[in-house]
Structure 1
Amino acid sequence: MKKFLKYTLAVIVGSFVTIGILMLAFFIMIGIFAASSQKEISVKDNSVLVIKLDGPIVERKISDPISDAIAEILGEPSPIGLNQILSSIKKAQRDDRIKGIYLESGTVLAGYATVEEIRNALLDFKNSGKFIISYAPVYTQKSYYLASVADKVYLSPGGMLEFKGISSHRTFFKNTLEKLGIEMQVFRHGEFKSAVEPYTRTDMSKPARMQTLTYTLSIWNHLLSKINDSRGLSAEKLNVIADQVPMFKDETFLMQTGLIDGLKYKDQVINELKDSTNTDYSKDINSIEIKKYADVYVPDDKKGISKNKIAVIYAEGVIDGTDSSEGIISEDLSRTIRQARRDTTIKAVVLRINSPGGSALGSEIIWREVKLTSETKPLIVSMSDLAASGGYYIACAADTIVAHPNTLTGSIGVFGLIPNVKGLFNKIGITTDRVKTNKYADLPSIDRPFTSDEKELLQAFVENSYNTFIDRCAEGRNTTKEKIDEIGQGRVWSGKDAIDINLVDLLGGLDDAIEIAAKNANITDDYRIVELPEELTPFEQFVKSMGGNVKTRIMSLFWKNNDYAKILQIINNVENNYPIQARIPYDISLN
């Protein structure tokens, strides 16, 4: 009887789970068809473009019905593409129906280089003579940096403004691993290649601390310089303000510092927007949100439908990471670059990189296609927040490398990290045994320590991978391996500092890279942009999503921005990644 009830309960629970999944799929499909049948979006005269950055910003927004539907169910904002934001700001600049921008940037979820790209686009927008008004109940430091470009920066009474300087921290697992009986066996080349330190130390090494302080100061000083340009506050004064922690000061302090222009409630800001657009107070403002405006067509006087194309290829995420449905998949990206090379209508390629690196093998595969393409037509690299280690590996063969001052790049080095869990097995009573036909048939094994011969083999493999890495960089940057080795060793550099050591050619954003590509291809007045890889239709993306790692997608939504989830992901990467990695030292998080 007990078994009968058990099986009956299991069948009932299973049925409900199945019904729930089918219902979710049904509603997603309804949403897809509803979206595909949407009527054309219209923009009214005398409108305000509303830029509300309340979700993650990715390089390029891909239609993903499952993630969007789950995010909506959970009440989470769906990601917005940087490409959508930049193109919308450009369109609004030449769109006579748009009179200005209302910016809500309270909690920007992006890196400093991404924020810089948006900020520069807003600066260009202001050249049109149109207004920008920023408002938020709370400004994070990145959000304030973005908002500081506005004509007016308003904070809600009782609100908070974070401005305290930049910090970078990391988590160390050495003591935990020792308690579990796990030994991390490390193989690396590079004094600064500190990716292994969280597993072998309890704090930063001197080289790691030095390099972190160097690029953190570089980024902070750049921010102070740009805020000074917009707000007229010197670096010295801004540092004094930061040391007083404005977020814990009263409203009078915030006004006296000059960080903001006023304290206003939302209705008061709306009234100011009505004044700026000559809208009667009794009527609503004509406005359109950026996610909708991204789909609005606005003619460009400079370019029509040209046969000449410049391909912008997006490379975002870890190279050949643990999730085969996310990040950079070396075979897929290589195929996309190869197709662009063979397409005679594509006159130049811009490779947009936002990656901490990853598999050394995957990086080599992509590098080959980048090199072949650069020998055929102009290929320009545009670096976003990160283009480090493997991210730099795939960039070094480009004709020109463009980075933001606050891009993190370099980290030329490789490492291998393989756990020995014999101590853990002993604690929980697990034993193993084996037979083998040859001396190294069971290499690598995680249930025993490596022998001295095996350690020599693996270290030699790492040294060979590093030698190949600096050889690629030396060839691409037209210098010697010795000079690359001097600035390599796994050291991370800011984009600004990378200029001085010949890792980067110019400071700028995606638009600058596109202009260089057009100039090098001699098509400055006759081209159009195509983004690659081509987007799937909503239905195709739905089918792909259902066949992908749905569990990972769901967990990422539930655990998003959770420190514990990040730690678990780091551990998962160590367990499942390709043994030899060309990757940035650690998961960098700058406040």
Structure 2
Amino acid sequence: MANQPKNTERGWRAGLYSLRAGIDRLWQRLACEVANLRRRLYRKRLPGYVVFVINQELAERTPIRPWWYNYLPGYQAPVSLASLNDAFRRIAGDPDVKGIVLLFKTVPLGLVQAQNLAALFHRFREWDRQSNGAAAPKSIIVHLEQVTRTTYFAACAADQILVTPLTTWDVLGLHTTPTFWKETLALAGIAMDVVKVAPWKTAFDAFAEPAMTPEYEAQVQWLYDSIFADLVETIHKRRGLSAETVKSLIDGAPWTAEQAQAAGLIDGSAYEDELPVLLGDAEQPATLKPYHEVRLLLFRRPQRRHPRAVGVISLTGAIIPGRSRSFPVPLPLFGEEVLGHLTAQQQIRAARKNSRLAAVVAYVDSRGGSALASDLIWRELKLLGQEKPLVVYMGSVAGSGGYYISLPGRQIVAQRATMTGSIGVVTAKPVLQETYAKLQARRYSIKRGDHADLYSEEHPWPASQRAKVEEGVQHNYAEFKRRVAEDRALPYEELDAVCNGKVWTGAQALQHGLVDALGDFPVAVERACELADLPTDGSVRVIDLTPPKERLLAEPAQAVKEALGLDSVQTLTVLAQELLRGEWQALVSNEHYWWIATGLPDGG
């Protein structure tokens, strides 16, 4: 009898889901009929090729905005990989569109984003085959104004690569220039006192070492070996050139457009206005229109919608105690965006309570940060994973604390170029003793307790205090390794070979057992669906989750402020207040860190 109420509730929910699904199917069928009728009436407006302009940095997920943002003056929805994925799927289902043209302007594109774009191109072709069968396959044309290693990496997955006549092929290989500031800081009397688990934990080396250490150099070398091998292999396979030829062409770069075409690196050169004739002919040029003009004209098919959904939690930025924040001016070490543990807790707890979610994907893009805040986020994700399948998708970087919060995932998916690992602990504080002397400033220290000045910037750690700091660092490192051993099912005693602060690409991390699969975000969603016994045919909705909102009435005013650029003024005020109060300095000098170094290569 005790189970009867629960069974009744389950039956009631199942009936409600079935009713909702039935209504949804009827509504979709009606909406598709109306849309396709409109399409037949305006069919002549349908272009041969749909155009996308890539002129800004590509985010992984589309920022969540209310629908009425689209009606604000000057507001333009950002392009994201998620929005491109939805658009490409719709285009693939139209029987009359011949293909897609992507116009790459001057745009910063990371290697992980390039790999995700290449995966999207392959997925588009599969959607096209599923929808249109034996019909002529749709083509993907990429037009590049500048050829960099990342834009070219993505373009290699296209059917045609076109450049402007004066574009040069600038895939010059890989290059990084870490800079070390210890002796420069010494001119101002500033020193950094650092305690770390191993020489590979290089997060503060730029300030604490006079030059690149052998361990730092070895780490850069093995990362570049992995990234460069992927670059050569990609060009070799997709352009039909031998690996040795590819290496020779990279060593000889830059090449003119004519030379690049002769070498088989590109397919032709043309200005943007010449594309219609190039894709058609002089008598009947192809028609090209941007996606926003043809979106409503594309053929629509009813799609079965599953009553359950997969939720997405975005965990991005340096990890700190407190609330998440964004700053228009990057903070040293922290960057423009910080992930606060309080905000993350709200998101994760909301996902646990959401009965509609059958599984969750956590999108992690973080260099790490506070060990304490990372552990608190880890705990919430661990509890979530005990109730629902949790899959982690790593973005460009998920190192140190970023890797730590990824551990609760039943599956971890990364791209080949993702920077991850850096399993280790470091703590540091600035020492300003000589600075005060140079400024002839006299500081006096009055304390109670032997370690009350443990994080004071007045002096380096004496032997007794350094021993205490090292004890804390080793304790945190042991806990980190224990989590890795438990969550990744790896022998604890063998972990130092892959831990000790060492950074790995996603491809290397897979070999070391630190991740489960390589791929893009849709691969993580597919893994989540499989773990939740959901279909993987695209019928399961993917919902981006935000922290529970407390002040809904403030949204319209906030939107207007963002559109007018006024929000950044308030943010700058908050930034100034925090710096004046010394909160940033206190955070830097009063924590143990799970942090990945900022000067390591990323292939971009």
TM above 0.5, yes or no, is yes
Aligned to 2:289: 287
Whether 1:485 and 2:485 are equivalent positions in the alignment is: no
Paired position in structure 2 for 1:200: 208
CA 1:429–1:233 in 2, change beyond 3 Å: closer, same or farther? Answer: same
Query: In 2, distance between residues paired with 1:80 and 1:575?
Result: 37
Pairing 1:269–2:275 present: yes
Distance, in Å, in 1 between the alignment partners of 2:463 and 2:179 is: 30
Question: Deviation string for 1:500-543 (max 9, x for gaps)?
Answer: 11101111111111111111111116632111127988626538
Q: What is the distance in 2 between the residues matched to 1:134 and 1:535?
A: 41
Equivalence for 1:432: 443
- Contact between 2:196 and 2:426, CA under 8 Å: does it hold in 1? yes
| Kept after mapping to 1: 8 A contact 2:149/2:170 | yes
Q: 1:527 aligns with which of 540, 546, 550?
A: 540
Q: CA deviation at 1:376?
A: 1.2
Give the superposition deviation at 1:587: 4.1
AA aligned opposite 2:308: N
Q: CA deviation at 1:77?
A: 9.6
Mean Cα displacement is larger for which, 581-590 or 502-511?
A: 581-590
- 1:85 matches 2:97: no
Q: For residues 574 and 151 of structure 2, what CA distance do their matches in structure 1 show?
A: 27
Equivalent-residue separation in structure 2 for 1:475 and 1:374 (angstroms)? 14
**1:246-395 map, 5 Å:** 246=254, 249-275=255-281, 280-281=284-285, 285-289=287-291, 301-304=302-305, 306-320=306-320, 324-325=325-326, 326-395=337-406
User: Per-residue displacement from partner, 1:439-494 (whole Å, max 9, x unpaired)?
Assistant: 22233111233222221111211111111111111110012322222210000111
Aligned to 1:109: 108
Residues 126, 132 of structure 1: 8 Å contact kept: no
Q: Secondary structure at the match of 2:117?
A: helix
Secondary structure, counterpart of 1:335 in structure 2 = helix
Cα distance per residue 1:392-418 (max 9 Å; x no partner): 101112111111111111110111120
**Distance in 1 separating the partners of 2:479 and 2:496:** 11
Question: SS of 1:448's equivalent?
Answer: coil
Partners of 2:269 and 2:557 lie apart in 1 by: 48
1:45 counterpart = 2:46: yes
- The 3 A distance-change label for structure 1 pair 417 and 233 is same
Counterpart of 1:61, as a letter, is T
Q: Deviations over 1:11-30 (max 9, x none)?
A: xxxxxxxxxxxxxxxxxxxx
1:502 counterpart letter in structure 2: G
> Normalising by structure 1, what TM-score?
0.80
C-alpha RMSD over aligned residues: 3.4
State whether structure 2 residue 472 is matched by structure 1 residue 471: no
Asked whether 1:458 is paired with 2:469, we answer yes
The question of whether the paired residues in 1 share the 8 Å contact of 2:509 and 2:515 is answered with yes
Summarize the Cα distance change of 1:319–1:496 in structure 2 as closer, same or farther, 3 Å threshold. Answer: same
Give the drift of 1:388.
1.0
Question: Which position in structure 2 is the counterpart of 1:584?
Answer: 596
CA–CA distance in structure 2, aligned partners of residues 535 and 136 of structure 1: 42
2:389–2:531 Cα contact (<8 Å) kept: yes
* Aligned residue identity for 1:361: L
2: CA distance, partners of 1:223 / 1:404: 13
1:525-569, Cα deviation, whole Å (9 max, x unpaired) = 66321111279886265389699764667999xxxxxxxxxxx9x
CA-to-partner distance for each residue in 1:77-115, whole Å, 9 max, x for gaps?
Answer: 985322222222223222446431111224442321121
The counterpart of 2:510, out of the listed 484, 489, 499, is: 499
Q: How many residues align?
A: 524
Identify the range of structure 1 (544-553 vs 400-409) with the bigger mean alpha-carbon deviation. Answer: 544-553
Q: Residues 53 and 215 (structure 1 numbering): CA distance in 2 closer, same or farther, change over 3 Å?
A: same
Q: Please give the alpha-carbon distance, in whole angstroms, between the structure 2 residues aligned to 1:553 and 1:293.
A: 40
Q: Is the contact made by 1:323 and 1:549 (CA closer than 8 Å) also made in structure 2?
A: no
Instruction: Find the aligned partners of 2:107 and 2:294 in 1 and give their Cα distance.
Output: 19
2:546 counterpart letter in structure 1: P
Displacement of 1:358 in angstroms is 1.4
Q: Match of 2:267, as an amino acid?
A: D
Q: Of the candidates 226, 235, 256, which is equivalent to residue 234 of structure 2?
A: 226
Report the CA distance shift for 1:360/1:56 in structure 2 as closer, same or farther (over 3 A): same
> Could you say what secondary structure the match of 2:338 adopts?
coil
Q: In 1, are the aligned partners of 2:311 and 2:359 still within 8 Å (CA)?
A: yes
What is the percent sequence identity of the aligned residues?
28
The question of whether the paired residues in 1 share the 8 Å contact of 2:341 and 2:374 is answered with yes
SS of the counterpart of 1:430? Answer: coil
Q: Report the Cα distance in structure 1 between the residues aligned to 2:454 and 2:524, rounded to whole angstroms.
A: 45
2:433 aligns with 422
- CA distance in structure 2 between the aligned counterparts of 1:385 and 1:58, rounded to whole angstroms: 11
> Closer, same or farther in 2 for the Cα pair 1:296/1:215, shift >3 Å?
farther
| TM-score scaled by length of structure 2 | 0.79
Q: Is the contact made by 2:324 and 2:343 (CA closer than 8 Å) also made in structure 1?
A: no
Provide Cα deviations, 1:340-383, integer angstroms capped at 9, x if missing partner: 12222211111111111111111101111111111111111111
Letter in 1 for 2:597: P
The one-letter code sitting in structure 1 at the alignment partner of 2:410 is D
Residue pair 2:417, 2:603 contacting (<8 A) in 1 also: no
Amino acid at match of 1:260: I
The CA distance in 1 between the partners of 2:54 and 2:227, in whole Å, is 22
Q: Which residue of 2 aligns with 1:118?
A: 117
* Mapped partners of 2:226, 2:437: distance in 1: 48
Please say which of residues 228-237 and 488-497 is displaced more in the overlay: 228-237
